Amino acid sequence: MRLHESVLCATAPVASGSGAGTLSLHDIQNGTSLASWKQTSSNVHCTTTVQSRDGQGGFMLAAQRDKSILHVYHFQKDQLALKIVLPEKLAALAADPSGKYCAGATTQGRIFLWEVASGIMFNSWDAHYRSITVMCFSQDAAALIAGSEDSGVSVWSIARLVDNVLQDELPTPYCAFTDHTLPVTHIVCGVGSFPKCRILTASTDNTVKMWDPASKTLLTTFYFPQPIAHVVLDPTERMFFAASSDGSIHQVNLFRQREDKFSRVAIEAVGGAGISDVIRVNEPGSASTKRRLISVGEPVSAMTLSLTSSILLVGTTTGLIHMYDVASHQLLRTLSTHKGMAITYLTTMLRPPDLIGHISLSLGPAGNGSKESIPVRPVAPFQRIRDAKAREAHEVTMMLPQTKTTPNAFFSYSSAELINDHAFFVQPPSTADATPGVALQSRVTELEGEVARLKEQLGKAKGINDVMWESVVQRLVAESKDQSNGADEDVAMTTNNGQEGRRRKRNRT
C-alpha cells in the first residue's frame, strides 16, 4: 500500500443556526477530496482525531457548538456513527494520541475525563473559575494541560485523576502557570515523555511562553506586535509559528548562528535562560520582519504543519486553506472547497488504511475468501455522572494481539520476500549484482570450504604435538634409567672395597 499524506479539516457556519458544517479529508498534494462527513458544526478547539493504528480503525470526535452533543465518526463509514449526550455543552475537547482518554471542558471551568472504550467518567472537577478555552494531552498521555480565560494554565496528572483511592478527594494540579495576564488562546505540548517535554502557551497579552514541566518554571517569553491566537510547533522543535487574528503569521526560530572568538560559525539555542529571558519577535521596522512574516490577509482560525514540516497549512474564517512553503514563505496552493464556511480544525495524517471507498477491507490473503475487516476502535457512550458501581464493574473492550496465523491488517510481507531481502543486504560487496539466492548459496559453500581447511590444519597441528610429546617422554625415561644404573655401580664398588680392607687387617694380626 502506498502512503499518501492527507489533511483533515472541520468546518462550521460563520453564523450560528445557519446550517451544518462538515469534516473533510483532502489529498495534500493536489487538494482533491477523499472523504466527507456531514451533520457537524464545532467551534475552534472542539474537534479531535485518533488515527488508525495498531490494527484498529481510528475515529473523529466533534463537540457541537449549540448543544451538549458529541458526534462520533469512523473513517470506515461516511455517516454519523454515534451521538453522545454530554452533561454540559463543551467549550474545549481533547483526546490522547492512543485514543484511550477523552477530556471535555465547559464555559464554567469544569473538566470531565472519560475512558473512550468503556464510557466511564473517571473524574470531573472545577479546574478554573472562568471558561476553559483550550486543552491538550502530552504525547504519552501522562498529563492533561488546560488553558482558561482567567489567564491560567493548569497541568494535571492522568495517573492521579484515574486513581480509585483518590476519587473522594479534590484533584490538585501537578503544577499551574500563572504568568499570562490575559486569556490563554492556544497550547502546544512538545515531543517527549512527560515531564521531559516543553509546553508553549499563547495568549491575547501578545506573548507566547515556553515552560518546563520538569522544573515547573518559565523558560522564555516571546513578545509579538499583536495578540496571538494559534501556535504550531515543529516536531523537531527547531521553530514555531504564531498566528494573530488579523492574519499575520510570525516564524520564530529556536536556534541562531553566531561567531566564536576564532571566527567560526556555531549554532546555539534560542531561549531557555529562565524567567528573565525575554525575546521580542519581529519588531516593526526591523530587517527581519519581512523575512519571517507571512501575511494571509484574513483572520486565521486554524493552523498546522505537514508531516515533513515543509508545508504550513493555514485555515481562515472564510473557508480557505492556504498552503505555504516553510522555507520560502511562498503560497503554494489554496483550497477553496469550503469557501463561505469557517475552518475550525486542521491536522495532517497519512491517509487512513481503512478509509471508506479507498481500500478493500479484506484482511485475508488473496484467494482464501476471507471477509474479515479492519476492526473499528470501540467508542462507548460517555457517562453523564460519576458512577462508583460502573467503576467497580469496569469492563473494557480490547483487541488481542495478532497471532502468526492472522495476516497483517495494513501490509502484506511474505516470508519469501523477507528471506530474499535479508539475503540481499547480507551479501558481500563482490556479489552485489548477483541474485540474492545464488549469492547466499555461494557464500555458504565458501564458508564450508573454509571450515574444512581449518579442520585439516588443526589435525596436522595435533599430530605434530603428539610426536613432540612422545619424544620428550621417551627421552626423560631413558635419562632416568641411566641415572639409576650408575648409582647401583657405585654402591657395589663401595661394598667390595670394604670387604678387601677387613681381610688385610686380619692377615696383619
CA angle 233, 235, 240 (to 5 degrees): 25
Which ranges of 150-234 does DSSP label H, i.e. alpha helix?
Answer: 158-161
Residues 361 and 464 in one domain: no
Residues 423 and 406 in one domain: no
Residues 448 and 434 in one domain: yes
pLDDT average, residue stretch 345-356: 91
Using the 3D structure, point to which of 412, 446, 480 is the last residue of a domain: 412
Query: What local confidence, expressed as pLDDT, does residue 422 receive?
Result: 72
The answer to whether residue 345 sits within a structural domain is no
The answer to whether residue 52 sits within a structural domain is yes
pLDDT average, residue stretch 497-509: 62
Residues 388 and 446 in one domain: no
Residues 70 and 104 in one domain: yes
Higher pLDDT, 390 or 138: 138
The answer to whether residue 291 sits within a structural domain is no
Residues 373 and 474 in one domain: no
Query: What local confidence, expressed as pLDDT, does residue 399 receive?
Result: 64
The answer to whether residue 250 sits within a structural domain is no
Residues 408 and 420 in one domain: no
Residue type, 291: R
In the chain, % of residues over pLDDT 70: 82
What confidence tens digit (pLDDT) does each residue in 447-463 have?
A: 888 999 999 999 898 98
Q: CB–CB of 244/229 below 8 Å?
A: yes
Query: What local confidence, expressed as pLDDT, does residue 394 receive?
Result: 78
The answer to whether residue 74 sits within a structural domain is yes
- Please state whether the peptide bond connecting residue 195 to the residue before it is cis, i.e. omega within 30 degrees of 0: yes
The lowest-confidence range among 73-82, 195-204, 330-339, 413-422 is 413-422
Residue 45: partners with Cβ closer than 8 Å, 6 or more residues away? 91, 92, 93, 133, 134, 135
Residues 368 and 499 in one domain: no
First to last CA, the chain: 131
Residues 38 and 151 in one domain: yes
Q: By three-state DSSP, how is residue 250 classified?
A: strand
Domain housing 456: 416-509
Q: How far apart are CA 145 and CA 58, in angstroms?
A: 23
For the chain, how many structural domains are there in total? 2
Residues 388 and 452 in one domain: no
Residues 46 and 86 in one domain: yes
Using the 3D structure, point to which of 412, 432, 452 is the last residue of a domain: 412
Residues 379 and 490 in one domain: no
pLDDT average, residue stretch 421-450: 69
Using the 3D structure, point to which of 412, 445, 477 is the last residue of a domain: 412
Q: CB–CB of 92/135 below 8 Å?
A: yes
> Domain with 385 in it: what CATH number?
2.40.128.630
What confidence tens digit (pLDDT) does each residue in 60-109 have?
A: 999 999 899 999 999 988 889 999 999 999 999 999 999 999 999 999 99
